[in-house]
Structure 1
């Protein structure tokens, strides 16, 4: 089964189209600290009400429809509750970065250095108010942690994480916290390299990386593979890493029809997340 078959009718640029069917649950004083989007299976049949998938968005949060549409797809395929916490408040508009953040390698082959510099300065001028959030991921950890605490207090006993870009960074911090006993592990897609967390993570992680990623280059990938490969050999901690060829940062949550390798990588990364949840949340093992 595919994750979300992409066709011209379901994708506009890097935005998935369609109508999310889940509900937005605001923060409630004394009950829920972090607002969130809640997706259920379309048929309403949840196979286990004590487990859930937590979907941690990129830096654009819930301002794009993609996280909601993808959460709905995860809920349908896994038949469990899926939550997308609003751990980034007032995120930047995604489209403001379009001129300087390619959605596939060599998208701007004829752009001169000076033209690119001019566009970069223009983007900085438009986004300066969000720079502290973008540059310092630790600032989002408290709200991400609170979203996990909310679910634990509601009776969820096992939670899997899937995170994209900034959400992938959050997973590294959350899994490095030994107090998070409800977390079974996570699928980490094109994150920032939070190297200080790696030695503390003792739960399964599956990584999906871009081979043209300025935030997590080949040197960092090699270092990550060394650390987690050793954990797998010495401690039996499950670890996988796939580097998707001809892709850039963002492929697993903001795909484009203009580039076949990106579409393929989007499908593979999210299908992998489904397999991860079936194994570690639902105890379904492949033959």
Structure 2
């Protein structure tokens, strides 16, 4: 089964179309973090004690993509899926469109003057978000509280999948010593490289990295593989790794039909994540 088969009618400019079927559950007296909650469309949940938590990229829930992808994960894994609002002041979805390419070379022919004209207004608008943009660890407390909410509701087996900032946060959660049993496994998609966490991650992980990613270059990828391959050899730590050819940062959550390799990588990242989670959440 394909993760989300892409066609001309279901994606434009990296934004998935469709109507999410789940519901928003606000923070309340018994819930610390608001969240999107979805379940299989046929309502056949195979384990009410197991759930997947999806941590969004920096755009949070301002795009429909995270909800639509959560719906697909729920259908394929047959579990409850939650998307916590762990970034209360998420970036506007359209803010980085003029400078964040959806595929390699999208803006390669732009002149220096055109680049300046595009980048300057962006810098003037983005300054108020800079404190949390530059501090991935700052989102960890709310991300962790979202897991504690689920634990208090009776969920005993939790897996996580994250994109961009969400992938960085998962690294901190898996390395945590304060609540080491909260997560059984994690899927990390094109994150920032939180290298300080790597030595402390001993749970099964699957990594999906872009070939052209300014935040996670080839040297850092080589270091990641060295660290985790050694742990896999010496400690038996599960480490799945995919380096997706001809892709840029964001391919796994904001795909485009204008580039075949990106479309292919999006599908592969979703399909392999499903197989990995089925195995390590004992589904």
TM-score bracket, normalised by the shorter chain, equals: over 0.9
Gaps of 5+ in 2: none
User: Matches of 1:130 and 1:145 in 2, distance apart?
Assistant: 21
Provide TM-score, normalisation by structure 2.
0.98
Q: Deviations over 1:198-247 (max 9, x none)?
A: 00001111100001000111111011111111110000001011110100
CA contact (8 A) 2:31 2:149 kept: yes
**TM-fit CA distance, 1:153:** 1.0
SS in 2 for 1:6: coil
Residue aligning to 2:74: 75
**TM-fit CA distance, 1:276:** 1.2
Q: Deviations over 1:29-86 (max 9, x none)?
A: 2x10000000100011100000000000000000100000000000001110000000
User: Matches of 1:142 and 1:17 in 2, distance apart?
Assistant: 31
Residue aligning to 1:46: 45
CA contact (8 A) 2:148 2:182 kept: no
Matches within 5 A, 1:212-223: 212-223=212-223
User: Matches of 1:110 and 1:237 in 2, distance apart?
Assistant: 44
**TM-fit CA distance, 1:115:** 2.5
**TM-fit CA distance, 1:131:** 1.3
User: Matches of 2:250 and 2:105 in 1, distance apart?
Assistant: 15
Residue aligning to 2:23: 23
Residue aligning to 2:200: 200
SS in 1 for 2:237: coil
Residue aligning to 2:184: 184
Is the counterpart of residue 227 in structure 1 residue 227 in structure 2? yes
Residue aligning to 1:88: 87
Residue aligning to 1:108: 107
SS in 1 for 2:187: strand
**TM-fit CA distance, 1:15:** 0.5
User: Matches of 1:79 and 1:185 in 2, distance apart?
Assistant: 17
Residue aligning to 1:66: 65
Q: Deviations over 1:136-166 (max 9, x none)?
A: 1111011001101111111111111100000
User: Matches of 1:26 and 1:122 in 2, distance apart?
Assistant: 34
Gaps of 5+ in 1: none
CA contact (8 A) 2:15 2:65 kept: yes
CA contact (8 A) 2:207 2:242 kept: yes
Q: Deviations over 1:80-126 (max 9, x none)?
A: 00000000012111212111111100001211233223322211112
**TM-fit CA distance, 1:182:** 3.1
- Name whichever of 3-12 and 124-133 sits farther off: 124-133
Residue aligning to 1:123: 122
Provide TM-score, normalisation by structure 1.
0.96
User: Matches of 1:194 and 1:113 in 2, distance apart?
Assistant: 32
SS in 1 for 2:227: helix
Matches within 5 A, 1:155-170: 155-170=154-169
Is the counterpart of residue 4 in structure 1 residue 26 in structure 2? no
SS in 2 for 1:247: strand
